[in-house]
Structure formats: structure tokens, C-alpha cells
Chain A
Amino acid sequence: MNQTVIDTHHISKTFNPDTIPVYAIQQVHLHIERGEFTALVGPSGSGKTTLLNMIGGLDKPDEGNIIINGTDITKLRASALIAFRLHHIGFVFQSYNLIPVLTAKENVELIMLLQGKRKKERDETAARLFEQIGMAEKMDSRPARLSGGQQQRVAVARALASHPEFILADEPTANLDSKSTANLLDMMEQLNREANMTFLFSTHDQRVIERARRVITLVDGKIASDTAFVNPDNG
């Protein structure tokens, strides 16, 4: 039986409401089930990142509710929202955003440390994740010594380290070459398939769109189309 992980109810967001209002998101109603591999697409300024930020609890909608795994995050207080993000949501950013002074392993470990996990568990999880992303030998490297693709893999490992309900990836391939993009998407697909991990991407990248099993198109803050593909190879 499918389980709704993300459920937005008519959410809207307007920037600069008192001066020159920008209607970033308008009445968006969206359901994402566990195990989906979904791409949120649309032209620049269509509201992809704003929607992703609101789903990730980084921004609050002016109207509507966002239910994540049964919890209405729009009603959570700031501190509770931070704790919620820590335990339920994984983030992957366009520019990797690894902490440059920490090694790859320490970057992954940091989130578990924030969750209060013991060293032994942190070490085991980090070792397993680096094995999973195929970078076991690069665990002790600093981000500056890793390629863009490798850094993004570490960022995915960091997102997975907290055992989230889903991963939000904002333009994860924007800075990667074709080979790195393919490798990253292979890895994400594998995680989706084997661990039933839910992915929601915001992207312009055709290579990501081609792999997605559902593509939601946003135009001017509204859902213009929502297409699901039957098989993993986009039919």
C-alpha cells in the first residue's frame, strides 16, 4: 500500500506583498507517495525552489498546509521545525555545500552528531554509506580534493545519514558534467529502487527529467502539468 510522504494543501507564497508582489506559489496542491522519483521542472522564476524550500520547512507558506508523513509542518514552532528537518528531511544542494574544513566522512558524520548518535553508530553508518556511494577510499579526503561529482555523492550520503523520509534535491546536477550526472543519477535510482527512498528534484536538467518517473511542471507558481510514467525508464 502506498503511503503519502508529502502532502501540500493549496499552498501559496507571495514575496514583497506590500510593495511589488511576486506570486511565487499559488494554490499548489501536491501529493508525493513513498518511493517516488519525481522531478519538479519549470522555467526560471516558476517557483521550483520556493516550493522545495517550503516542503523542506525552510520557508513558510502564506496560505495552506504542508503535511509531511502525517505532521503539519506549517504549524510547527521554529525549534520543532529544525528538529523535524534533522530527523525527517534530507537535502542535496546545487553547489554541494560541503563544509570545506571537514573531511568527507566528517561531513557525513556531522548530521548524525547533531542527531545525538554515538560514535560507533556514526562510524558504521558512514562506512556503509561511503560503500554505497562507491567512495569508501575517499572518506578521509577534504572536499577540495574531490571532483564535483564526488562532492555531490558525499552530499547525498550526508542527506541519507539522518535516515530521512525523503530527499529534496535542488538542481543537484547543475554543476556536473555528463558522466558525473549519469553516475549520480544511477546512484540515486539505485537508492530509490533498493531502499525505497523518495526523491524530489527541482531541475532544468533534461538528463534528470528523462530518469524521473513523475514530472511536475510549474509555471508562474502554479502546477501546469503533472505526468507520471509507468516504468522506471520513462516508458
Chain B
Amino acid sequence: MILLLQLAWRNIWRNKMRSIVVIASIAVGLFAGIAVLSLYKGMMTNRIRTVIDSEIGHLQIHARHFTQEKEIEMMIPNGDFLLSEVEKFPLVRSAAPRLIALGMLSTTSGSAGVQINGVEAEKEQQVSHLNEKIVSGNYFTEKKNEILIGKKLADKLKIHVGSKIVLTFTDTANNLVSGAFKIRGIYQTFNAPLDEANVYVKKETLSGLLGLQHCIHEIAIILQSDEAVENTLLPLQQQYPSLDVADWRALSPETNLLVRTVDDYSYVIIIIILFALAFGITNTMLMAVLERRREMGMLMALGTSRIRISGLILMETILLTLAGTPVGLFLGWMGVRYFHRTGLDFSSSGEELMASFGFSTRLYPEFPNEKLLPVLLIVCVTALLSAIIPLIKTLTLKPAEALRM
């Protein structure tokens, strides 16, 4: 076996240049594949981070059907008490209550439909880090009737810090309620549609306008780690069966779908790259078989079975393919390591365009450790597929004819 392995390895190096070209192409192909996978992973991590850190949090609690209907009377019963209970959960890092109303934001020059989020300034910044996203003006102060609006909305309505706006919405008795607010700050996240649709006011201000005290529509929760979701979701659901307790995947199914689609798509890219490389490998191995027909005829004459000779060709194909694999993986790892530190700037693609899809313009590729095994499996399958035509040639060789060549 060792001698056959040695023979296979040495056979690869009979034509050094040809083998080096194939090995290099496999390495470059794999590097490209790893680069794409890493970029996708970085993009998805970026998107998930935005969803968790800026939009939803790890978990949210609502009254039943609130997320679908958003009716103002669908409040969490004993919301303040529940909030204090949730904050005591072992894996919960912070939780923030929100009072939510759908309404209209009007200025002298225009209006827009918005979701009005009444938040507790201190708690909100621990959950959604809203204070860190202020690009103009400031976060909430002690003053009354302050509002934070998204940059996209501010640009659309041509309003700025200090501008006065009016929010109009209905209260629980279906009465139209209006309140005048002054823009305290303009925030910007990586999700432009979100920035356009959400405004933030202080919870006590909104409570006052709605005539509701100690009411909560939503509790957003940040856990100690992303992995803690699985261990927290079920206990919360079991403890509060009358409420909707959901994780970010359920609350943002489009993100979950995007992550899974990109995950599947990244395999398709790797398969396409390696499929293209398979033609090069096949060509090389076919040349190797055709050049060595006489030698194979000799081996058959001496008593080597076709299966054994095919095994040798298969071994050579796999070795040739695998020889390029560590090089490609190493190059990929090095490249990803470098760009993970520095990040890749996609601002030339358009900040607005990236933000409209919920992505930052600076992406940090991540090495797809979890995909290494499947990628190696795809590489092995590529080697096997590449060996098919050379194997057919080998299996149909007739020793007497091969010896005459």
C-alpha cells in the first residue's frame, strides 16, 4: 500500500509543470471559494449583529398577536413586574420596555407614517445602543417632548435637529391624539428602511399622551451571549405561556431566511468553482493515463488487476487534488485573518444601497470554520468526479494493445 501510495505520489511529479499548474489552480479556486464564504459569513454576522444589537435584541416578549396586529390595547399585563422578573433571569444581560404606537409624523413640509417607540432612555441604550447611533444632535436629555428620528426619514422630510414635528396617533379609546415634539437627535443604523419607519420618544411622554401608566407593549432582551438564546427562550415560553416570547429568528424571519439562503448559496459557489476545476484535473489525469498506456499495459501483463491500476489512478487524482487543498485553505485563512482585522470597505458600492439591505459598508470577513468539513468533502467529490473519465480509459485498456503503443 505504501509503495503504491509512493508510486501515485511520484507519478504526479513526472510532469512537474503540469501538476503545479493544476495544484495552483485548485489552491486559487479554493482560496476564491473561501474568500466568498468568509465574506458571506462576515455579511451575515454583520446583519445578525444589526438585528440583535440595533433592531430586535435576542428575544422579545409581547402580548399575543401584537406583532401581527400592533393594536395599542394589546399590552403586556403587569408589564413592569414582568420586566423586573425577566431581568432576574440568569442569562439576561439587559431588558428594555417599549410602548408602541403607529401614527403619523407631520412637519410643515410633509408627513410620513411611522412606528412611535416609547422607550426608557437608560434601558434602551443598553439594549439597542441607540445613543451610539446618533449622527447629529444628542440622545435623550431631561427635557420633555424630545424625539429621535432616523437619518433616512430626516433626509426625506428635510428636517434636522431642532425642527419641530407633530405626532398623531390613536389612543386605546380610538381618539385621535397629537403631540408636538422637537428633534433632539438623528440616528442612523445599518438598516435604512428601519431608520425611515421608526422614531423614538421617551416612554413617559408617550404614556402621558395615551393616558396609560405603567403599560408596556414590548420587552426587548439582550442575553449574555448569542448561544444563550436556546437556553432562555424555552424557559421563558414555559413560564409565560399566555404571552408571545420569540427570538430574533422568529421576529425577523426575513433575516433568518437570508442567512439560510446565503448559507446554501455559498455551497453552490464552492461547487461551481470546484466543478470548473474538475475539468482541469480531468484533463491532466487523462493526459497522464494516455501517456502511460504502455506502462499500464506492462502492469496488467505482470498481473496487476484493472481495479488496482484504477485505484492507482484514483489515488493520483485524489493526491493531486488534495495537494492544492492545504495551500488554498492556508491562503484563504491568511487573507481572511488580515481582512478580518482591517475590514473591507464597500462604501464605493454606495452606503445607501448597502444600508437599504441592512448591511454596513465595512464588512469583516470571517473564516468559515463550520464549513471546512463540507468543503473538504466537496473537494474529495471533485477529485472522484475528475477521475471518472481517466478511470474509464484505464478500465478499457487491453494489455496486448497497450504494450504495442
- Enumerate chain A residues within 8 angstroms of B303, measured Cβ to Cβ: 82-87, 89, 111, 114-115, 162
- Give Cα distance in the complex from A56 to B139, angstroms: 94
A76 adjacent to chain B (CB < 8 Å): no
A58 with B399, Cβ < 8 A, contacts A83-B303, A99-B7, A101-B10 known: yes
CB distance from B11 to the nearest CB of A (A): 6
B305 adjacent to chain A (CB < 8 Å): yes
- Which residues of chain B in 291-316 are interfacial with respect to chain A, using CB atoms and an 8 Å cutoff? 294-295, 298-306, 308
CB distance from A69 to the nearest CB of B (A): 15
- Give Cα distance in the complex from A158 to B303, angstroms: 12
A82 with B10, Cβ < 8 A, contacts A58-B403, A110-B3, A113-B4 known: no
Q: Would you call B302 and A113 a contact (CB within 8 A)?
A: no
- Give Cα distance in the complex from A90 to B305, angstroms: 16
- Give Cα distance in the complex from A224 to B294, angstroms: 31
A114 with B10, Cβ < 8 A, contacts A53-B400, A58-B400, A106-B3 known: no
Residue of A nearest to B12 (CB): A101
Residue of A nearest to B13 (CB): A101
B14 adjacent to chain A (CB < 8 Å): yes
- Enumerate chain B residues within 8 angstroms of A114, measured Cβ to Cβ: 302-304, 308
Residue of A nearest to B298 (CB): A97
Q: Would you call B10 and A102 a contact (CB within 8 A)?
A: yes
- Enumerate chain B residues within 8 angstroms of A53, measured Cβ to Cβ: 400, 403
Q: Would you call A100 and B14 a contact (CB within 8 A)?
A: yes
Residue of B nearest to A112 (CB): B3
Q: Would you call B302 and A85 a contact (CB within 8 A)?
A: yes
A93 adjacent to chain B (CB < 8 Å): yes
Q: Would you call A101 and B7 a contact (CB within 8 A)?
A: yes
A59 adjacent to chain B (CB < 8 Å): yes
- Give Cα distance in the complex from A115 to B303, angstroms: 9
A111 with B400, Cβ < 8 A, contacts A100-B14, A101-B14 known: no
A189 adjacent to chain B (CB < 8 Å): no
Interface-central residue, A93, A115, A162, by most chain B CB under 10 Å: A93
Q: Would you call B301 and A91 a contact (CB within 8 A)?
A: yes
Interface residues of chain B: helix, strand, loop or mixed (majority)? helix
- Give Cα distance in the complex from A134 to B199, angstroms: 96
- Give Cα distance in the complex from A82 to B306, angstroms: 9
CB distance from B134 to the nearest CB of A (A): 70
- Which residues of chain A in 45-96 are interfacial with respect to chain B, using CB atoms and an 8 Å cutoff? 53, 56, 58-59, 79, 82-87, 89, 91, 93, 95
- Enumerate chain A residues within 8 angstroms of B6, measured Cβ to Cβ: 102, 106
Q: Would you call A58 and B301 a contact (CB within 8 A)?
A: yes
- Enumerate chain B residues within 8 angstroms of A58, measured Cβ to Cβ: 300-301, 399-400, 403
- Give Cα distance in the complex from A211 to B80, angstroms: 112
Q: Would you call A82 and B304 a contact (CB within 8 A)?
A: yes
A109 adjacent to chain B (CB < 8 Å): yes
- Give Cα distance in the complex from A122 to B368, angstroms: 47
- Which residues of chain B in 277-303 are interfacial with respect to chain A, using CB atoms and an 8 Å cutoff? 294-295, 298-303
Q: Would you call A102 and B7 a contact (CB within 8 A)?
A: yes
Residue of A nearest to B308 (CB): A114
Residue of B nearest to A90 (CB): B302
Can you report 28 A-B residue pairs in the complex whose CB atoms are below 8 A from each other? A53-B403, A56-B301, A58-B300, A58-B301, A58-B399, A58-B400, A59-B400, A82-B300, A83-B303, A85-B302, A86-B303, A91-B298, A91-B301, A95-B294, A97-B298, A99-B299, A101-B14, A102-B6, A102-B7, A106-B3, A106-B6, A110-B7, A111-B303, A113-B3, A114-B302, A114-B304, A115-B303, A158-B302
* Interface residues of A, Cβ cutoff 8 Å to B: 53, 56, 58-59, 79, 82-87, 89, 91, 93, 95, 97, 99-102, 106, 109-111, 113-115, 158, 162
User: Sorted from nearest, which 8 A-B pairs have the closest CB atoms?
Assistant: A86-B303, A101-B10, A97-B298, A58-B400, A85-B303, A59-B400, A53-B400, A58-B399
* Interface residues of B, Cβ cutoff 8 Å to A: 3-4, 6-7, 10-11, 13-14, 294-295, 298-306, 308, 399-400, 403
